[in-house]
Amino acid sequence: MTTIRPSTLIPLLLLAALAVLPFAAESYYTAFFARVLIYAVAASALNLALGMGGMVSLGHALFLGLGMYSVALPAHFGIDDGWLQLALCVAACGLVGLVTGAISLRTSGIAFIMITLAFAQMGYFLVVSLKQFGGDDGLPIAGASRFFGLELASAEAVYGAAFCLLLALTAWVARLRVSPFGMTLRAGRQNARRVASVGLALPRYQLAAYVLSAVLCGLAGMLLANLNAYASPSSMSWMVSGELIVMVVLGGMGSVFGPLLGALAFLGIEELLKGLTEHWMAIFGLLILAVALLGKSGIAGLLARLDARVPARRSPRLAEGRA
């Protein structure tokens, strides 16, 4: 017999609401929340490297971009086979992740941040320089990705795909956190020296997590390209990498639901402020500052504090363990 706590219950209710949203909401909101779900997937991907592994990558927009161009480039040549695009995305992100990860992981701390940023900027300028594929202006996508019968042409279709991907990813992360792999990563963030002294070659596990993180971020990019019917280098800029970090930190580093909570809060507040004032960036900056002061436990940490206050309800199966 295990208990279901507010820190699990509230995100699950949120997921339930997101499951029915496209059936109830106007197209505009479906598109907006599709974007939230896609960024939640990307943030989940970054959460593996940053939240669990403590690898502060300021270059994950590179993988988002690689995912987008894995759709846009084949589409440019009339290839809309989603499986082929997927294979291209996995290969590109996996390979680039492996090479840049292997090099970046030779360093740590600020140097790691700078090297990941440098690789992402190289990718950004490479794409900008490819004038035949739109360069600075980006590349419109005429035909959406097709997976058997499913075509990611409408916001609803992308929403559905993003929701299912996020759900699967979240369920997996809940297991991963306490699996030998996840525990090794989390142990490495706490005390890297000790991990080695119990026989685990930490860099190998960190590299594997980095590559996994890169590939998953690429999948988010594929969905984003389909949602926007467009791939642009601006999605590869360092600002996007920074936003992903803010989402992970805002939601709660290393937590299961943090990336969803962070992406929702970040994009939701941005959307609200944009409607209120032209100077939304300034207010947004203050909010990010507040988040930094919140500490690394973020929104998930706030929910976990509720657990102590609210008497736990009994449920036979669902439990996530400690926050």
Size of the site for other proteins (CB under 8 A): 26
Q: In the bound complex, what is the minimum distance in angstroms from residue 204's beta carbon to other proteins?
A: 9
Contact 218, 95 (CB under 8 A): no
- Cβ distance to other proteins smaller for residue 68 or 300: 300
* Helices 202-228, 180-190: crossing angle, 10 deg rounding: 110
Q: What are the structure tokens assigned to 182, written together?
A: 């996840």
- Cβ distance to other proteins smaller for residue 82 or 188: 188
Among 44, 121, 184, 232, binds other proteins (CB under 8 A): 184
Among 196, 239, 308, 312, binds other proteins (CB under 8 A): 196
Q: In the bound complex, what is the minimum distance in angstroms from residue 203's beta carbon to other proteins?
A: 9
Query: DSSP label at 81?
Result: B
Contact 74, 195 (CB under 8 A): no
- Cβ distance to other proteins smaller for residue 199 or 316: 199
Distance from the first to the final alpha carbon of the chain: 18
Q: Which stretch binds other proteins (CB under 8 A): 80-88, 150-158, 180-188, 263-271?
A: 180-188
Residues 6+ away with beta carbon under 8 Å from 65: 123, 124, 127, 221, 231, 233, 235, 236
- Cβ distance to other proteins smaller for residue 153 or 200: 200
Q: What are the structure tokens assigned to 287, written together?
A: 């909010």
The footprint of other proteins on residues 200-239 (CB under 8 A) is 200-202, 205, 208
Scanning the structure block, which residue is given the tokens 């290969």? 91
Among 19, 29, 126, 175, binds other proteins (CB under 8 A): 175
Q: Residue 287 corresponds to which amino acid?
A: L
Please give the Cα distance from 4 to 312 (Å, whole number): 7
Interstrand relation of 313-315 and 2-4 (parallel, antiparallel or unpaired): antiparallel
Binding mask 284-323 for other proteins (x = CB under 8 A): ----------------------------------------
Q: Which stretch binds other proteins (CB under 8 A): 49-57, 187-195, 214-222, 268-276?
A: 187-195
Q: Could you list the residues that contact other proteins (CB under 8 A)?
A: 172, 175-176, 178-184, 186-187, 190-191, 193-202, 205, 208
